[in-house]
Amino acid sequence: MNTNGKIIAYTGIGARETPGPILEMMETIAQFMAKKGFVLRSGGAEGASMAFEKGCDITGGKKMIFLPWRGFNANNSPIYTIPDRAYDIAKDFEPAWSTLNDSGKRLKARYALTVLGQDLKDPSIGVICYTKEGKMKGGTGQAMKIAMKYKVPIFDLGFYEFQRESIKEKLFAYLAELSIDTDGLEL
C-alpha cells in the first residue's frame, strides 16, 4: 500500500517450528495483504517467514526480506547489510548479547529491520506472527519486544493455536484496528 508516497508495510515472522495449519494460514494472510497493497517485511527464516514470503510471491506482492548475510537459506534478497543502529536496538532485547558470535548478532539485529524498516525509522503497521502458545520466545519474541517498544500492534497466532475456531474472529478484529478492510480474506 502506498499512501501519499509512503510505503505501508507489515511484518510477517514466526517460529521455524510453526505448525502446518498455521503456515497455511500465514500464506493466505500474506496473499491477502499483498492484494491490499501492503509490503511484507520478513527475515528469510524457515517456517513462518518463508510461509509469509511464499504467500506474498503467489500474489506478486512487494516484499523486503532482511537477511543476516547474503544467501541466507538460499534466499536471493539483496537486503543483507545490517546498520550499526540495528545492532544497538537488538542488544537491548538480548540478555546474552555479549556471548553471541557475529552470526548470532546478525541474526538478532535483522529483527529490528523487519519491524522498523531499512532506515529503522519507519515502523510496520503491525506484526503478524507465531510463537508456540503465544509465549514470545526466540527471535520472534525479540522482534515482538522491539515492536512493543515502538508501539507496533502485534497479532500472535500462537496465542490462539488451541482455539482455532476463534483465530479468524480475533485476526479480523486486529486487522480492523489497523483500519484494514477484511473483505476477501478467507481463512
- State the Cα–Cα distance between residues 77 and 154, nearest whole angstrom: 25
- Grid coordinates representing 56 are 506474498
- pLDDT tens digit sequence for 110-124: 999 999 999 999 999
Q: Would you say residue 184 lies in a domain?
A: no
- What CATH number does the domain containing 10 carry? 3.40.50.450
Domains in the chain: how many in total?
1
**Are residues 131 and 161 in contact, defined by beta-carbon separation less than 8 angstroms?**
no
Query: According to the model, what pLDDT value does residue 4 have?
Result: 56
- pLDDT tens digit sequence for 124-174: 999 999 999 999 998 999 999 999 999 999 999 999 887 877 899 999 999
The domain of 86 spans 2-173
Closest of 36, 30, 59 to residue 128, by C-alpha: 30
- pLDDT of 6 over the 80 cut: no
| Mean pLDDT for the stretch of residues 3-12 | 80
Give the strands of the sheet with 9-12, arranged side by side. Answer: 63-65, 39-42, 9-12, 127-129, 154-156
Q: Would you say residue 185 lies in a domain?
A: no
User: How far, CA to CA in Å, does 122 sit from each of 27, 74, 145, 171?
Assistant: 24, 27, 16, 23
Backbone angles phi, psi at 104, to 5 degrees: -60, -40
Q: Would you say residue 182 lies in a domain?
A: no
Q: Would you say residue 86 lies in a domain?
A: yes
Q: Would you say residue 181 lies in a domain?
A: no
Closest of 50, 42, 55, 35 to residue 11, by C-alpha: 42
- Grid coordinates representing 83 are 546498520
- pLDDT tens digit sequence for 16-67: 999 999 999 999 999 999 999 999 999 999 999 999 999 999 999 999 999 9
Q: Would you say residue 29 lies in a domain?
A: yes
Q: Would you say residue 73 lies in a domain?
A: yes
**Are residues 112 and 146 in contact, defined by beta-carbon separation less than 8 angstroms?**
yes
Q: Would you say residue 187 lies in a domain?
A: no
Q: How far is CA 9 from the centre of its chain?
A: 10
Confidence class for position 7, pLDDT limits 50, 70, 90: confident
- pLDDT of 178 over the 60 cut: yes
Query: According to the model, what pLDDT value does residue 2 have?
Result: 44
- pLDDT tens digit sequence for 81-115: 999 999 999 999 998 999 999 999 999 999 999 99
Helix segments in the chain, DSSP class H: 20-35, 48-59, 84-91, 102-116, 138-149, 164-177
